[in-house]
């Protein structure tokens, strides 16, 4: 693919935060974009408009990626509307209110792991079935969005979130080795303290200056790394995750 036209990318959780910024950055980089959302139709429409302003074809598709049937519909719809998918940004995620491990209950844990880990595996499987040459595809790239929390542990706040993202890191390494000879690269991004609404009120005020760079990052800064990894500029990268964390 040339720098002017890269193909079709699907971004899960693409209506807000890092997913929205990634969708727009990918459009600017030459991709046609499928923007997945679960409930925020208005936000998704704004992202679609911003991508269209980059001169790219874009479609928003509602689907809960924790549900296998909805996930299949999502991939099929994007393919029907835009063409064969050549990259997937595996981005959907959630946190729970801050708390210690001793305070977690099964309902909290099931929600966090279902959305952050189980859905990541389901999206990855659907992506491979469309892109892998072993399934008749033309190859492609899967970018898994993890978190620096997977390494740091997030003690006293959300160790469950950190553990669910550590599962995503393991997925990146393991799946990359499974599909390396099938035309599919699998890479990860671990954002640090980024200015999005995933944080509890006051959290960035308390922690935002703790990275060595002295500030929180922006969703745009993460999005630029995602766009690079999805492109052929990163053609010799697979099975690895890139920290975008200001050194923290």
Question: Could you count the other beta carbons within 10 Å of the beta carbon of residue 4?
Answer: 8
φ/ψ (deg, to 5) at 102: -65, -15
Sign of the C-alpha dihedral, residues 14, 19, 21, 27?
negative
The answer to whether the beta carbons of residues 189 and 182 sit under 8 Å apart is no
The residue from 37, 104, 161, 236 that is catalytic is 161
How far is the first Cα of the chain from the last one, in angstroms, to the nearest whole number? 35
Q: 194 phi and psi, to 5 degrees?
A: -115, 140
**Cα 90 from Cα 12, distance rounded (Å):** 6
Residue 94 token pair: 């959630």
Largest interatomic CA distance in the chain: 52
Q: How far apart are CA 153 and CA 168, in angstroms?
A: 14
Nearest-angstrom CA–CA distance, 173 and 196? 27
Closest CA to 241 of 155, 150, 113: 150
DSSP label of 135 = G
Catalytic, 135? Answer no
Catalytic center residues: 161
């Amino acid at each position: 693919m040339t720098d002017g036209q890269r193909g079709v990318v699907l971004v899960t959780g693409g209506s807000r935060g890092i997913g929205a910024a990634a969708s727009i950055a990918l459009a600017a980089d030459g991709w046609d974009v499928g923007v997945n959302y679960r409930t925020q139709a208005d936000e998704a429409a704004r992202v679609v408009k911003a991508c269209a302003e980059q001169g790219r074809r874009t479609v928003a598709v509602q689907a809960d990626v924790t549900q296998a049937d909805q996930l299949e519909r999502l991939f099929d719809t994007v393919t029907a509307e835009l063409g064969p998918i050549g990259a997937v940004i595996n981005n959907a995620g959630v946190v729970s209110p801050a708390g210690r491990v001793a305070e977690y209950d099964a309902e909290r844990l099931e929600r966090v792991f279902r959305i952050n880990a189980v859905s990541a595996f389901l999206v990855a499987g659907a992506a491979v079935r469309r892109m892998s040459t072993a399934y008749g595809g033309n190859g492609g790239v899967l970018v898994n969005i993890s978190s620096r929390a997977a390494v740091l542990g997030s003690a006293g706040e959300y160790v469950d979130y950190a553990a669910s993202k550590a599962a995503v890191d393991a997925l990146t390494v393991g799946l990359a080795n499974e599909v390396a000879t099938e035309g599919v690269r699998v890479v990860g991004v671990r954002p640090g303290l980024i200015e999005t609404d995933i944080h509890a009120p006051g959290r960035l005020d308390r922690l935002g200056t703790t990275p060595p760079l002295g500030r929180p990052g922006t969703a745009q800064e993460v999005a630029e790394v995602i766009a690079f990894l999805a492109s052929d500029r990163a053609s010799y990268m697979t099975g690895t995750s890139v920290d975008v964390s200001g050194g923290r």
